[in-house]
């Protein structure tokens, strides 16, 4: 009986460890996804930031030409 109790305890501990490991993996994946989103956003913002001054310069040039 004692051996069965120990075996059941080991199985239970294994199940709990597995669940915690899966939870940690999910958290890590979420963090990586969030980091990738921030990187993507900064890549998109950079050309947009460069585009606006050029757009403004084009508008100014149009006014001076007219």
Q: What is the pLDDT of residues 19-30, one digit of tens each?
A: 999 999 999 999
Could you give phi then psi for residue 42, rounded to 5 degrees?
Answer: -70, -35
Instruction: Evaluate the CA torsion angle 7, 13, 17, 19 in order and state its sign.
Output: positive
- pLDDT surpasses 60 at 65: no
Annotate the chain with three-state secondary structure.
Answer: CHHHHHHHHHHHHHHHHHHHHHHHHHHHHHHHHHHHHHHHHHHHHHHHHHHHHHHHHHHHHHHHHC
Indicate whether this model's pTM tops 0.75: no
Q: How far apart are CA 22 and CA 29, in angstroms?
A: 10
Answer yes or no: is pLDDT of 10 > 60. yes
Residue 1 pLDDT > 60? yes
Mean pLDDT calculated for residue range 16-45: 93
């Amino acid at each position: 009986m004692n051996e069965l109790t120990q075996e059941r305890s080991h199985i239970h501990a294994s199940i709990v460890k597995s669940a915690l490991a899966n939870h940690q993996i999910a958290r890590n994946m979420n963090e990586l996804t969030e980091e990738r989103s921030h990187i993507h956003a900064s890549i998109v913002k950079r050309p947009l930031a460069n585009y606006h001054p050029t757009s403004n310069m084009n508008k100014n040039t149009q006014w001076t030409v007219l």
